Each structure stands twice: as structure tokens, then as C-alpha cells.
Structure 1
Amino acid sequence: MINSKKQAVLPVLVLVYVLVCSILVFTYQDEKKSPPEIETPRSSFYQKENVQSRQEYEQEMLVNPATGKVPANIRKQELEFAREVNLQNTLNKTPRSASSGNGTKNHQLLWLPVGPENIAGRTRAIALDIRNEQIILAGGVSGGVWKSENLGQNWFKTTASDQLQSVTTITQDIRTGKEDIWYYGTGELVGNSSRAPGAPFRGDGIFKSTNGGDSWEPLPSTQSNSPGIFNSPFQYVWDITTNPNNLAEDEVLAAIYGAIVRSTDGGQTWTTVLGTDLINNPPTFDLNNIPAEFFTDIHRTESGVFYATLSSATNMAGGESRNGGIYRSEDGQNWQRILSLFRPGEESFRRIEIASSRSNPGLLYFLAESSKGYRLWKYVEGEGFTDYSANVPIETEELEAFDSQGSYNLTVAIHPTNPNVVFIGGTNLYRSTDGFATADNISWIGGYDPESENISTYPNHHPDQHAIHFIHAFPDALISTNDGGVFITSDSRAEKVTYIPLNNTFVTTQFYTASYSRYPLEEVVLGGTQDNGSILTLDKLVNQGPNGIRILGGDGGFTASTPYGYYYYLSFQNSRIFRLTLNRNAEITSFARVDPVGGGTDPSQSYLFVNPYVLDPNNANRMYLAGGDFVWYNQNLSQIPAGSQSPARVNWKRLTRTEVQAGVISAIQVSTNPKDIVYYGTGNGQLFRIDNAHSDIYSVKEITGQEFPVGGYIRCIAIDPTDANHILVAFSNYGVKSLFRSTDGGTTFTHVSGNLEEFEDGTGNGPSFRWAAIVPKTDGTKLYYAATSTGLYSTTSLEGNVVWEQESPEGIGNMVVNMIDFRQSDGKMVAATHGNGLYTAQADGVVPNENLVVEEDFEIANVYPNPFADEVTIEVNAPRTRLLIIRVYDSRGNEVKRVTSNLAFVGQNDFFWDGTNSLGQPVGNGVYLIRVTYEQKSYSRKVVLQRE
């Protein structure tokens, strides 16, 4: 039997090793020198520098401003509401007249999934089919359940598009004849969003499959039926296992919020067998008000003995549970505490993970995170506990300190045939060859790269470990899941462990942002992701080969690109923005950090975790940035010198009249036609308009709508490319009116959320609006899009009773869509989901940007002001994107300064000289010659410097 398993699995392992990334062919620079390395921050959710900003960002964006809380149970309720909306739209699907004000049918686009199919998202749940280990089921915490039938070479999704996607654990019934029964649990209590019980990606019970995981149905006994309160402990499921020793009954045990629960009828009914009984409380109870064990775990050994852990930490600050401890049971019903962890005033225990030895089932390890650090115990049945906590890795020259990030990532495993080889995972993955009996035989084998001077990931691996599994037929083969998906190694005991990603078509990437490349010759999407940095993705169907490349690490933010290729703008968390050039393999060939010195420095009004900025669609060398309490403007990004990883000073201006007295600037957008109008909004519901934003005579006017929700979070401002007075303003909070339209530049607004609000006043279970777009067509019509927490919607009319219809119900479905973007030159569109990657579509007949006019000849169009005292602008028009050099000479012919040696893009380009020499020192008053060299020709103008 073992030999037959080896014969079945071995070819697959060999095939896994030959998975390689395809070479991308872009219009990038092709340089053969080693690419420069950018120091990137860590992307971990609970990394010290990230935890507060990410929690606050996600929480403030979603809370009902009237209560300050995310509505309890909102995920389930908004999904049910979305189903009602879709059902009503289907029932009402009749031909409509163009003047009906309710949109027209058949305007939906064909949205195709484009991955990236080789870069996955956070994966907590995984299990191998006991009958055939080539069959794997894995779950993304916001991406649903996926199945592979060839050991992870490729995957297909088995949860329906309208089902809950928050998968945290998965298990199989291993009894003979019952192997097609599977269960998965939902609800990530620590990690996916802020800890409020109504968090947007929370769970709602346990799902069951009776056909090998090909489809799923919720267990009604675990579903919450009372909206508005946290009343079910099944909303957070830590772990599930079955009892193969009970041949007469379908016995399931689950570690849920506060307790271990047991069912003997396949999940139809449950009883609490350990911990705090929360399932028998009246449905009106708010579980926030009942002290309960915050972390639980359940584990079954190879011999069928059960072990469970309950944290002493509870949901109450400072409250400790007397139940905290480690427990043992031989029948899953009667439990004995074998180690008490109730130590009030001394130590508080949080999450405690369990592992047992396959070759010696009476040997176990328990890994815990506590108020005093980390605890690691070895337990042998009949002998008791040995404390190896002192040997958990600490910072040395060879090792980085073990870090579970507040119990977010924590896992432990024992080698199947050698119980002395033990693995523990936090941010990194570690291996001990003496069971952590000493600190001398520990190796760092995954997560971050121990050999990198900067922060980078271990080769073909990823930080933040969540699960470890072994293959029975090949005991040294180890499957690791983490925030980057699923990875395999054939030799977990090698001195240098080598991994192969198993993420081909495992599309669980969590995107915050996405933008379609503005260069018309590129079919490329840029996107910022949670945990996976900033990714470049080829726009092509999944299953056509690897199409994603991680360009920057950290948590990815906003992205942008120029209409001429060459420059790409990507960012990390908290608005660290880089201008990049890339070669044909999408490797960085040059970079410059471009965010401004002084931006976001007010601690009470700092940058957002995912902070917005935008390039001017008429002049991609100009950037407008949400700087916390001010809008910042850069007049020419290309003049910023390459190579710096520090904030930039060159050409940045803080637009002082844009100051917001309270809140943080949360959205910003610049117009196409007419030019130079900027709208910006705040996280407390204020909206402003800047006219002549590019000039010193800019003006600012507050245009906050009278019906805007007080304290609402403006997530997006969409501007009609053909009419800057036509805008949409999207609020992302729950429980408020979500989408407003103005056709007069903000003088008046109309509420246009339509059928996506349950009630006209915005209350109820309508979705959170994340983004909006206006797409003008050459036939005079317009397409309107709303990206929401229950999918992507569209309409062709915002008049009368607005009816939004779901785009791609079978593809995007009810996934959270954080952003949409379209390329005006040809109508290419992208939708960024938080859990299932990117989808692209083609909108035909889109009105192009007529402002991007190609000049016939090069010219210095203007040099002003002349005379000047502080700064002179050199305006040039270029017929082609080419290298341009600007030098300044004094009256004796001496070169004073090289102002720039960089690109001039097609069309208008503005460069600036501040009256200093090459050392940055002010030069004297007088006449200076400005010489511009372009395509081996020189052009000159005189300018007078006249300081008072």
C-alpha cells in the first residue's frame, strides 16, 4: 500500500519541481546589471509598526459613524441582502426604454479572472485526502475553499461565489466509507481585520460537504440568526476534527470562541464539553458582555486520543479564565485538565497550538503565546511535561527572535518518523533536531530570508506561518501554508530547505488597490496587496502560465503609471512611494523614493495605512498626494534623482490652503477635462474642490453635501473624464447613505445608491461602497460602476429610481471589491478583489482623452516668470518620449547646474530651476542661459534672476 502511494505521488513531486515562471516581454528598459534592492518593510499584520495603522484604517473605513462600531453580523446580513437584490433584478428583467431611468439590460461586461495565478494570499486551512494525498483542500481566509487533485499543481474553487469565503480550518471524516464528508470552519478572530465582533470578514459557522469537498452547505445549527448582536460563538471557529473511533455516529468536535463543542449527528446539534457554554444562551445575548476564553484548539492524535487547549485570556480586558489550560480526553466528551494555565496576576496565556507524533502518538508538543513571551512544552503520556520555553529562538547572529505577532501566526508540528525533529512557526519557520531540548540545534528554514541584509522573503517561501502538513508516503515532504499561500519541500530535514510554491491557479490574493497600465501597448495591471506587496500582473486568463511578479514587498498601496510606459509608481504601507523603471523581466533597474519630506507628519493626522495619490491624467509627471492634513503637489516627478530611499524634496509643494482641521484626507482625484481641478475628501465626511490646482493662484472651496453622512468616510471620488463637474462620491461606512452624485461641480448632490441601500436613509444591510467609476462612451451614454463589499455593480443611468445590477455574478460574485480602474485610451478595466485576485474586462467605445495631443516639433514653449526671484519654470513640448538635458550657464559661459538629465514625455513637460548651483548654493543676480538638449539638438533661452 505504501509503495503504491509512492508511485502515485512521486511523479507529481517531480512535476512540482519543474514549475517555472514565464519570461515577460514588456516595453521596459533592458539592463543587464544587477537590479538595485529597495529596503522594504514587513507586511505582517501584527508587526509592531503596522498593527495600529492597519486596524484603524480598516475600522474607521467601515464603522457606522452614529455608533462608532461595525454592525454585528454584517457580513452574513449584507450577503443575504445582496441575494435579494440579485433576485429582484432577475424578476424585473424586462426590456426597458432608454428614458425609464432604471438602466438598460445587457450592459454588463465579460469579466475574466487574471490571477495573479502564481501569487496566493493568506492560507490558514489545509488538509490532504486520506485516500489519495494528491487531493488537497485549502482555504484562504477571504478567498474560499480550493481543491487540487494533483498535489497542488493547479486548483479549482469549490465554494460558491455567494457563500462565506472566510475559511480558517478544514478537516475530513476519515472513517471507511465516510471519506467524502468534509467540514470547514469560518471566522478569523485575529488577523483579517480589527477584532470587533462585527468585523467585515468574520465567520458564520461551519460548512459541510458530502461529495469530497466539491460543494458545500452551511450547517444551520451553527448559523447566527439574530442580526445586530454578537450572539454565536460559531462566528469564530479555530479548529475542527472528527472521531474515527465512533463508528455508529457522525461525531465532530470543534474549537470555537470560548469552548470545545461536540456533535454526534454530523453537526445538526451541538453540546459544549469544555470551556464556557455559549451555544445555549438566549439569541438576544451579546457575547461581548460574557467573559469567555478567547483562544481554543482541538487535536486528535494518531491513536485517537483528543487534546484541547483553552486560553486563560478572555474577551474582557484583564479578565482571566479559571478554565485556562491543557486538557486530555479519550472519548471527546469527558475531559481531564493535565496542565492548569490559570495564573492571575502572574501570566496570561493566549493562543496554544498542539502537535502530536505520528510515530509515537503519546508524545506531544504545545506551543503557547503568553504575556511573558512564548512557552513550549513537551508532553509524554504517563510522564508529564518538560518545559523547553527557554529554547524558543531568540535574537542571535544566526536566528531572528520567534514572533507570533500577538497569536496571529502560530503553528507547531512533529516529523512523522523522527519525533526529535520538531518545527515551530511564527513569522518565520524553525526546525530543531533535538526536539528543542537545547538551543543549539535550531535552523531557520522559512519565512523571511536569514541571508538577506534587507527584509526579504526566504527563497520560494513567505512569512507568517499558519499550518504544517506532512505526506504519509514521503515523510520528509512538508507542506507549509502562510500569508503567501501553499508551499512544499521534498526534504524538510535538508541543511538548506528548498521550497516550491503550490500557488498555480490558487487565486486567493487580497488586493487593496489596482490600476491598469496607462501605456496603451501594455496589457498589464499593477496592484497593492495585503501581505504580498505590490504585484505586476499580465492581463491574461488563468491557466495560461504564471502571470504575476512581486515588485515590492511590504503591504502594497496605491499604484500608477505613465501613458508612455517607462515609469511605474508603487507604494508600501503609510505612503512610501517609489518611482521605478523595469527591465523585460520586470526587475527594478532604477528607483527613486518620491513621497515628500514633511508629508503626513502630524501624529493626529498622519498618512493612512493605504494612502491615496494620483497622477494627473493630462501630465503624468504631476502627482497629487493625500498628505494627512494637507494636499501635496509635485510639479515634475522625473526631476527627483534616482537611487534615494529617503523622502524627496524636489518639486514638492504643500498646498497650504487645503488644510483640513480635523480628520485625515482619505480620497483624492484630479480631472481630465477641463484640466487642473482636484477634489479631495476626508475620513470625517468633508469634501473640497481645488480649481487651478497646478498654479500658485489655486483656490479651495468646501463643497460637503448637505445629505452627506455626518462623520462618514469618503473612500473614493470619481470624476467624469469628459466633464469635471460630474462626480460621484462614495462613502464606505455601513449604515449610511453610500453614493452621491453632483453634475454641477459640487454645488448640489443627489443620493444615487438606489437599490444597494436596504432603506432610503442608508440604514439596514446594504454593502460598504469601496470605489466608483464613470466611463463615458462615444455614443453619448455612460457606464457607472460601484465596487462594494458584496461585489461589483453597474448601471447606465443615475436618474430616477436607480437600479444597480451585479457584474460577473458567477465570477467575482459577492467578493469584496476594493477598487476598479479603467484605461481611457481603450476601455481596459480591472476590478481588485480582496481574496480572489484580479478580474479584467473590455469596455468598447470609450471616449479617449483628447488632451493628450502629440506635438509635431520640439519647442521651449515658455520660461516664466522672467525675471524670477525664487524659481523659474521651463515649459517644453516634446513630440516623442526621449532623454532631455537642461543645463544652466552664467554670463561667462560657465556651467552653473545641470537641472535635469531625464525623460521628457510626449506633450507638455515642466522643469524647474530654483536659482542654485550644483552644490545647492544660491547664485547671484544676473542673466543666465538655459540650454535644453533633446535628440542631439540644443535650444536656448535667457532668464534673469533678480532677488530683492
Structure 2
Amino acid sequence: MKFSKKSTLILSLVVLWSLVALVFVFVPKSNDKEITVEPPTARAEFFSRENVQQRSEYIHQMLANPETNEIPVNMREMENEFVQDFKLKANLNRLKMSAAGANSQNAPSLLTWNSLGPNNIGGRTRAVAIDVTNENIILAAGVSGGVWRSTNGGQSWTKTTKSDQLHSVTCIVQDTRPGKENVWYYGTGELVGNSTRSPGAPFRGDGIYKSTDGGLNWQPLPSTQVNNPEKFNSPFMYVWDITLNPNSANDEIIAAIYGGIVHSADGGQTWATVLGNSLYEVGNNVDLNDVPAIFYTEVYRAANGVFYASLSRSTNTASAFSPLAGIYKSDDGVNWTRIVVHSNLAYRRTEIGASLSNPNIVYFLSDTGQGHKLLKYNNATGAIDDRSVNLPDGTDEEIESFDSQSSYDLFVRVHPADENTVFIGGTNIYRSTDGFSTKANVTWIGGYNPDVEGNSSYPNHHPDQHDLVFLPSNPNVMISANDGGLFKTTNNLASPVVYESLNNGYITTQYYTITMSQSPADNFAFGGLQDNGSILSTIGTNNNGVRLIGGDGGFTASTRFGINYYTSFQNGQVYRLTLNRNYSLSSFARVDPSGAGADPSQPILFINPYVLDRNNGNRMFFAGGNYLWRNRNLSQIPSGEQTKTDVNWERLEITKIASGSISAIETSSDQENILYYGTSVGQVFRMDFANSNGYTVSERTSNIFPSGAYVNSIVVNPTNANEIVVVFSNYQVKSVFRSVDGGATFEDISGNLEESPSGLGGGPSVRWAEIVPKNDGVTEYYLATSVGVFSTTALNGESTIWLQEGEQSIGNAPVNMLDYRRSDGRIVAATHGNGIYQSQINGVVPEPAIQSGSGLMVENAYPNPFTDDIAINYTLPETDMVRARVYNTDGKLVKTIALGLGFQGENEIFWDGTDVKNSPVPPGIYLIRIEYQGEIKVQKVIYSRE
């Protein structure tokens, strides 16, 4: 299929423009026909050429120690150890207080956090298996969401990984020997997808875990655990796959790990490398980043007991290739024979699948670095048939090319009852009924939707495939695991294949951002997610989510009054949305500025910040790489557009930064028109008069800030614009700083979240902060970190004591962002792997009432006369529709310049002296007529060309 999509895009825009007058009916009556439109979307292509670099740079900038420019090796293990010590100290303090008879009423109180789901949307899932004793028991795992177990075929789920255990699960397997069925193993550490390609990335695993009670509880195998957290010294940090030998009296485990294949004959107490690089024996003091090693490995056991394994030609060194690359087989999992040599090309991952009906027939699907190769192997004869030419290659306009995104999503599986029905997975699932011996019998059955122009998903399915499993009682019933969680079909031979979601409380979504709708009338939060776009989650009994837009979701925003909501894709593509009663999209407009991010050396970030002015829902500030951009009336941007816009955007020239990119923005509530922004290289600035052309900028970078660190969050006290908290997200630096004089001076308040006075050690990455003033005079401070949420009510400089919130709910899950609503104190936390959590803060200081008068009030237009743009300030008593039209002195309509939402309080409308065709009008006198709820105000303006 060709993906230019021109004809459908033109048609959809025509339809959208015809609905312009309707989409602004933002409070539909009970008898209104609800309008919905297809949401904009973008592919979450993890390993397209552009996104590899952008994602890598984004994560690296956020987390790397700025002194070394490296992410500390095995940081996840180090920070987990740190938080365990942290909890131990906290428990000792509680015991001391109790022994001293301390008044419990004076002890800090913590919030009660409950999961907000989304219960119906899953996250990236690489591991799924069906219990051989009962096919209604399913175990599945997200790569950052831990292991989940269902006893009713996926209709409900229970998380069995403890909150303080490692959640990076990549594979799972059951011991199927009689009497041993309660034994399960899972491997950890996703080498491609959850991290960048470098083994030095922070999200590695920590070996293999074992359960002896059917997956209800898990314990690590000590032999696979890291002994020196300071180094990447164990290949068990990345486990690609695990298989067992059910024909052995011993507890034999064969694991595909970083560098090679290892074997244990005693249930994982001891190991030996049987294929590939012997990295397990290198010793605790060797950094494996410095040892050339095979990057991708795989192990598979066919039903006849023959083992197969693959070793990549690619290594961790770009210029080095492994001479051991190829495909191997073994009768015992110990002694191996190479049956296919991988040479010439930079072979990466090879996946293996065999037929249950004829286990001598085995398929090997490889990413060669220059396309894909599919081999059919006959173990009985040794014959190898290359069927690569019949893989989808885009020559058929109805079938998109097969794409594994550089080995990120890849599998080959064979129908248990038919050796010629073969399923391959990349971004999509394809089925061949003749073993890919021809192209004629290949069908596109999952992932993106082949029947809809664009990047929408296959009905009730999701792109980026990682595994398929078949029900033992009926091999036509199949469960698909992908970046959207789990999906089931009862007939994998149908055309089309019909799926149902099994994400029924399987909460494994990975959030980057979160916003609590600021309207008291709304009962939802919405945020941007990895792989899953932007999702709206209702607060209630089902806690279900609604996908608003696709792609890799970024920052989100809500006006104080609801109605208009803002979401974004990767790389700063921002959309204004309106929703109907069912939270379906009723209109959209792309609103990000066309000129932003022009300097490639100071790019727009992968997850790029923007904010709405807290006092004006039509005013936005956008981080444009090396400049801030400002839009003073978003409502003038017409609905239906999917391209960047120039409407009302202005680059704020004196906000330019010399290096890095703008990485954090926040506006004030208490004193209007104060804004703070930070950069990816550690600078902080304050802007005063941020609403006007007379704005000023002053640098507020403190000499106690960590040099060159990444400012991930700036929060302003909503009742005091001079109190701010600045958060640096890098590892091994001091993380949290507070100012009470508008940034003139700062104090370090990182406190016990640092392991050492210098910030070095295993202290977590702090990602976000919130300041919550309360009616009783107490101010609460909350932090989102890589090991959960922390809070305090008593700041004391470097001696500040932070307490962990939601220890038994959120636990040690990475939390990227927090948001709370002043109208009722509801607070939400966005985790990267376990969805959203919400709680209630009582007695928060509410937002002050807006002073808006009793009717439409319009100020004189300025500058008048004008040569470029003219602005009219007006004030509304309540939020409603505003229309502004320009007439000449003959009474002829020149242009409608506004037909959109005006918010209670102050607003602005702009005209650039053009007509309906965007051509300059003749110099002269014009009348601007503003209409609101039956009121009409007219301004006379003079246009004078230079």
C-alpha cells in the first residue's frame, strides 16, 4: 500500500471544513447528534532513522550525568538498592518516634493512591504464555509493567510482580513436566525498545526470576543477579529468551542472553556458556561495554525436542562483526551445530518458529540490516529453502512492506495444525497459507489497518508485534502480544481476522506526561504515552481510557474551563481537540508554530514542552528549540488543519538561548504574566510581562545548580509567583532547588533523595514537582521520581526529609509527571509502565474568581493606525463563542477573523490586514465588529502600509 494518503486527506479536510460551524457547539444538548472525526495520528516508529537519534538524545539528555556525559551503568539496580535503604531508614525513624512517645498527630500524613488504569488499554508486551494445566490461566508481562496473571482467559488480571521488584520482563516460560507445572521463569532487560541500542542505557534487567507457585510470587535466581551495581558486568542484564528441557530429569534451563546461549542443569544455580561469547565468566570488575559481544540471541525448542538458537553478526561495536553468527541446532541444548552461516550482511535479530504438527519444519526470520530473510528448514533432510522473495515488499499496493523497525518487533510463528500456515510479525502481522512459497497467499491481518488510508490500527488491534500464542484446545484461537497489550482472535484463519482486547485491567501503559482536566465539570485525566498516543482516562468504577490521538504521545494541557484540550505527538506536533459526551473527537486543529525548531543543533525535543497561560486559555507558550514562541489567541487557528501554522505565532526574540534546547516552561497564577523556563543545559530564566510586546527576560541560573544538567520541570507556587521549584532529572547530580524570591537565590532541597552530599550514588532521577498550598497555611510539596512519588510539608534545605507516597500501590515504578487540580485537590501521577494513579488532597487553596464584569467589554484596538497586526483586547463575563468580522467603509465584509471560543476574563483578537484570500487589503479605514451572546461592539481601525 502506498502511504501518501493524498486523496483521503483532501476528502477529510473538505468534510471537516464543512463542519466548522458545528464543531464549536461545545456543550451538546441531549437531542443533539454528536459529531465525531477521525483523530490525527503519527506512527510510533521506534527505530526509523530519525527517531533512533531523537529518542536517544532525549533520554540521554534527561538522564546522563553531565560531568561524564554517560548514564551510570546499571542505574536501575543502584536506585532500587537506594530506595530499599531509604525505606529501612524511614521505618527506623517511625520506630524511634513511637518509642519516644511522639504524638502521631504530628507525624506527616501520606495520601492514599488508587489506580486510574487505563484498564482497557495495555502497554508494550513481549512475554505471554498459557498454562498447560489450564488454558484459562495466562501469564503476560509488560517490559516496564511487570508480570500479570489471569485465571479467566484474560477477562481480568492480577499483578504478581511486587512493587519493589524489577518490572522489565521480556520472556516467560513454564516447566511442563508432570508435577513441575507450578514452576515458571521470566527473563528481564529489554535491549531494543525500552532503551537505546547501547548496553550502557539505564533500563537493563537483572537476571532471571523464578516462581514455584504458578506465577503468584517471584524470586530472583541469585546466580543471575548483579554483584557489582557500578558496572555492566553481567550478560544476564539482558535476557532475550528462555526455554526448558522437558525431557530431562534435571531442571535444565537454556537462556539466550547478551552475548550467547547459556545452560544450567540445576535450575539456575550454576551456568555454563554453550554457544557464543563466554561473558558469564568474565568477572565482576569487567565492563561489558568494553568487550566485543554478540548483540542479539535467540533460543527455541521444537516439539520434537530439538533446540535451535541464533547469534547475530552485529555486536555492541559498530565496526566489529561476530564470526560465530548464524543459526544452530542441538539435541541436548549443550552441544550445538551451525546449520546456517550469517555473513556479508550485518545480521541482527533472528526469530525461530516450528510446526507442532510437523516439528521437523522450522522457519527462521532474520533482520539482515538490509531487509529481511525468511528460511524454511527441514530437520529430517537438512534442506533449506530461501523464501525471502515472498515477504511483503510493497510491490502489492494492498500490502505494506514488512518492517521490523530494525529488530524491535519481530517474530515467526507456525499454526499448530498446519505447517504451511505461517504468521510473521513486525509493525503488522502477516499470514501465509503456503509457507511464503508464493506472494499470492499472503494476507495482512494485524497492526496498522490495510483498509484505511493513514496510520490507524487494524480493528481492535495495535501495531508493533512481539509474540503470538495458540490455545492448546483450538489452534485457531490465538493471542497476540504487541505495543498495545494483548488481543485475542477465535479464528486466525478468517479474513478479516476479528480481535477482542484482553486488556481488562492489564495495566502496563507507559506514560510520559499527564494532565488533570482543570475544569471542575470534568472527571478525567489525559496524558501522552510511549507507543499509545494520548489517552483520556475517566475517574470512576471502570477507569477505562479513550485514545485521543496516536503516535508517541507528548505533553498535554487543559484550559481552566475544559472545552478545549491539547495533546501532542513526538517532536512537538500539538493539536487542539474538542470532545463530545462520549469523549470522542468532535474537532481538531494542529496549532504548533511553523517556524519553530529551525536550528538543527538546538532542536525541538522528542517529548517537547508547551503550556497554556494559567490565566488565559487561548494563550500558549511553546518551546521551539532555541526560542520561546507565543500565541495570544489559539482560537483563531481554524479547525481541520494538520500542518504547522503561522496564525498568531510570534518568536520571542530575546528568549534565545545560546546552547541546548528549551526543556521546561511554567506560567504563574498569582501574579499574572510571569513565566519561567529552563534548558537542557541547566539554565533558568524568568520572563516578566509575558503577555505583552514589552516582555523582559532575566537569567536566574544559580551557581549552586549542577553544571550542564537537564531542567525537566519548573513549578510555580499558585499563590506566590516568587516561589519556584526547579527539578534536574539527571542521575548523580543534586536534583531539586527552591527559590522564594523569584529565582534571585536558590537553596538545595534534595535532602534524603540524594545518597551523598555531591549527588553521586544511587539516588533517583527526579522528574517533576508540584507545590500545593492549603487553606490551613501548610504547603505540600510532591516529587515524581524514577522510583515513585515523594512528598514533604517541611522543607529544610539539604536536610529536607522526603517520604515515599503510595509505597504499596505506586511502589518503585518510574513516575514521569504529576498534576493536580486546585478546584477540588485531585492529583494524578503518571507511571512509565503501570498506568496512572490518583489521589485526593483535602483543603487546597482554590483558584480565585475571575474578575470579568457583567457584559462584553472591548478596549481600544492597538496600535492604531497599524501596518502589520492590530490587536483588540476584550473581556467576557463567561466562556462562550465569539465572532469577529472586518468590514470596509462601504459595509462590505472583508474577512471573518475569529469564530471560536472566548474564555471568561481577558482575551485578544488579531488582524493582519488581509482579506479572505489572505491578500493585503488597500490602506484605509475598516470596522471590526465583535459579537458575543447578542452583544455587538465595533472598533474603527486604520490600516497603513509601510
TM-score range relative to shorter protein = over 0.9
Q: Distance in 2 between matches of 1:404 and 1:47?
A: 10
**Residue deviations 1:422-481 (CA, integer Å, cap 9, x gap):** 000011100000011111110000010001111111111111110010001011011110
Q: Distance in 1 between matches of 2:155 and 2:941?
A: 65
Q: Could you tell me which amino acid in structure 2 is paired with residue 44 of structure 1?
A: E
Residue number in structure 1 paired with 2:594: 597
Equivalent-residue separation in structure 1 for 2:565 and 2:370 (angstroms): 45
1:779 corresponding residue in structure 2: 776
**Partner SS for 1:50:** helix
Equivalent residues of 1:794, 1:804 under 8 A apart: yes
Q: CA deviation at 1:871?
A: 2.5
Q: Is residue 395 of structure 2 the alignment partner of residue 393 of structure 1? A: no
Task: Output the CA distance in 2 between the equivalents of 1:649 and 1:914.
Answer: 11
Question: Alpha-carbon deviations, 1:852-906, whole Å to 9, x = none?
Answer: 3353333224433344443322222212222211122333333332221222221
Distance 1:439 1:107, change over 3 A: same
| 1:357, distance to aligned residue in structure 2 (A) | 0.9
Q: How many Å separate the matches in 1 of 2:46 and 2:150? A: 28
Supply the distance in 1 between the matched residues of 2:246 and 2:768 (Cα, whole angstroms). 49
1:833 aligned residue: 831
* Whole-angstrom distance in 2 between the partners of 1:856 and 1:216: 64
Alignment of 1:780-799 (within 5 A): 780-799=777-796
User: Which residue pairs with 2:627 in the alignment?
Assistant: 630
Distance in 2 of aligned mates of 1:546 and 1:450: 31
What's the offset of the Cα at 1:34?
Answer: 5.9
CA distance in 2, matches of 1:185, 1:226: 19
Amino acid at match of 1:822: Y
CA offset at residue 216 of structure 1?
Answer: 0.6
SS at match of 1:586: coil
Following the alignment from structure 1 to structure 2, what is the Cα–Cα distance between the partners of residues 215 and 656?
Answer: 58
Match of 1:506 in 2: 506
What CA distance in whole angstroms lies between the structure 2 residues aligned with 1:28 and 1:562? 15
Q: SS at 2:323's partner residue?
A: coil
Please give the alpha-carbon distance, in whole angstroms, between the structure 2 residues aligned to 1:496 and 1:587.
Answer: 25
Residue 77 (structure 1) shift: 0.7
C-alpha contact 2:880 2:901 (8 A) present in aligned 1: yes
The equivalent residue for 1:3 is: none
CA–CA distance in structure 2, aligned partners of residues 588 and 113 of structure 1: 25
Displacement of 1:378: 0.7
What is aligned with 2:205? 203
Residue-by-residue CA offset, 1:310-361 (whole Å, 9 max, x unaligned): 11221122212121111111111111222222x2xx2221111111111111
Distance 1:731 1:268 in 2: 41
Corresponding residue SS for 2:512: strand
Q: Which stretch shows the higher mean deviation, 809-818 or 321-330?
A: 321-330
State yes or no: 1:260 paired with 2:261: yes
Q: How far does residue 119 in structure 1 lie from its aligned partner after superposition?
A: 0.6
Q: Aligned partners of 1:520, 1:527: CA distance in 2, in Å?
A: 18
Contact 2:125 2:486 in 1 (8 A): yes
Counterpart mapping for 1:528-547 below 5 A: 528-540=528-540, 544-545=541-542, 547=544
1:292-691 counterparts in 2 under 5 A?
Answer: 292-341=293-342, 343=343, 346-384=344-382, 385-395=384-394, 396-540=396-540, 544-545=541-542, 547-691=544-688
**1:943 Cα deviation from its structure 2 partner:** 3.2
Contact residue 208 and residue 219 of structure 1 kept, 8 A:
yes
Q: Which residue of the partner structure matches residue 928 of structure 1? A: 926
The worse-fitting range, judged by mean Cα deviation, of 687-696 and 851-860 is 851-860
Distance in 2 (alpha carbons) for counterparts of 1:206 and 1:116? 29
CA contact (8 A) 2:126 2:481 kept: yes
1:560 and 1:865 mapped to 2: Cα distance?
31
**Once the two structures are superposed, what CA deviation does each residue of 1:121-150 show, in whole Å capped at 9, x if it has no partner?**
000001110000100000100000000001
Corresponding position: 1:237 with 2:236: no
AA aligned opposite 2:679: T
Going from structure 1 to structure 2, the CA distance change for 1:809 and 1:33 (only over 3 Å counts) comes to: closer
Residue type at the aligned position of 2:127: A
For residues 588-609 of structure 1, the C-alpha deviation after alignment (integer angstroms, 9 at most, x for no partner) is 2111110011011211111101
Distance in structure 2 (CA, Å) of the matches to 1:947 and 1:293: 68
In structure 2, the residue matched to 1:808 is 806
Q: 2:365·2:373 contact (CA, 8 Å) conserved in 1?
A: yes
Stretch moving more, 284-293 or 513-522 = 284-293
CA contact (8 A) 1:28 1:565 kept: no
Instruction: Flag the 1:103–1:87 CA change in 2: closer, same or farther, 3 A.
Output: farther
Structure 1 residues 284 and 103, CA gap change in structure 2 (3 angstroms): farther
Provide the C-alpha distance between the structure 1 equivalents of 2:727 and 2:27, rounded to a whole number of angstroms.
35
- Once residues 586 and 619 of structure 1 are traced to their aligned partners in structure 2, the CA distance between those partners, rounded to angstroms, is 24
Provide the TM-score with structure 2 as the length reference.
Answer: 0.94
2:12 corresponds to: none
Structure 2 CA distance for aligned equivalents of residues 762 and 731 of structure 1: 11
Distance 1:336 1:791 in 2: 47
Give, in whole Å, the separation in 1 of the partners of 2:398 and 2:887: 55
Residues 927 and 366 of structure 1: is their aligned pair in 2 closer, same or farther, counting only changes over 3 Å? Answer: same
Task: Provide the rounded CA distance (Å) in 2 between the counterparts of 1:302 and 1:103.
Answer: 63
Task: Name the CA distance, whole Å, in 2 between partners of 1:424 and 1:699.
Answer: 58
Deviation at 1:73, TM superposition (A): 0.8
TM-score, length-scaled by structure 1: 0.94
Q: Deviations over 1:6-44 (max 9, x none)?
A: xxxxxxxxxxxxxxxxxxxx9754764763334421013
1:186 corresponds to which letter in structure 2?
A: T
Distance 1:581 1:783 in 2: 33
Q: Which amino acid aligns with 1:402?
A: F
**Counterpart AA for 1:846:** V
Q: Is the 1:103–1:796 Cα contact (8 Å) retained in structure 2? A: no
Pairwise CA distance, 1:243: 1.0
Contact 1:28/1:586, CA 8 A, preserved across alignment: no
Query: Could you tell me the percent identity over the aligned residues?
Result: 54
- Correspondent of 1:888 among 873, 886, 889: 886
- One-letter code aligned to 1:713: Y
2:290 counterpart residue number: 289
Within 5 A, what are the aligned runs for 1:131-280? 131-247=133-249, 249-280=250-281
In 2: Cα distance, 1:441 partner to 1:546 partner: 42
**One-letter amino acid of the counterpart of residue 192, structure 1:** N
Deviation at 1:382, TM superposition (A): 2.4
Q: Distance in 2 between matches of 1:108 and 1:401?
A: 52
Provide, for residues 223-280 of structure 1, a one-character-per-residue CA deviation record: whole Å limited to 9, x for no partner.
Answer: 1111221100000000011111112x21111110111111122111111111111111
CA contact (8 A) 2:484 2:532 kept: yes
Q: Letter of the 2:542 partner, please give it.
A: G
- 2:610/2:621 contact within 8 Å kept: yes
- Conserved in 2, the CA contact under 8 Å of 1:446 and 1:461? yes
Counterpart of 1:236 in structure 2: which amino acid?
Answer: Y
Corresponding residue for residue 855 of structure 1: 853
Stretches of 4+ moved more than 6 A in 1?
A: none
Deviations 1:811-853 (A, max 9, x none): 1000000000111222111100000000111111111221533
Range that drifts further, 192-201 or 490-499: 192-201
Q: C-alpha root-mean-square deviation of aligned residues, in Å?
A: 1.8
**Counterparts of 1:883 and 1:660 in 2: how far apart (Å)?**
38
Q: Distance in 2 between matches of 1:328 and 1:930?
A: 80
Secondary structure in 2 aligned to 1:892?
A: coil
SS at match of 1:322: coil
Question: Counterpart of 1:894 in structure 2: which amino acid?
Answer: K
Match 1:108 to one of 93, 97, 110: 110
Bigger shift: residues 388-397 or 232-241: 388-397
Aligned amino acid, residue 863 of structure 2: P
Alpha-carbon contact 1:461-1:487 (below 8 Å) kept = yes
Q: Is the 8 A contact 2:242 2:255 kept in 1?
A: yes
- SS of 1:694's partner is coil
Residues 514 and 29 of structure 1, relative CA distance in 2, 3 Å threshold: farther
**In structure 1, how many angstroms separate the alpha carbons of the residues matched to 2:518 and 2:306?**
60
Q: 1:484-519: per-residue Cα shift (whole Å, max 9, x none)?
A: 001110000112101011001000000000000011
Residue identity in the other structure for 1:480: S
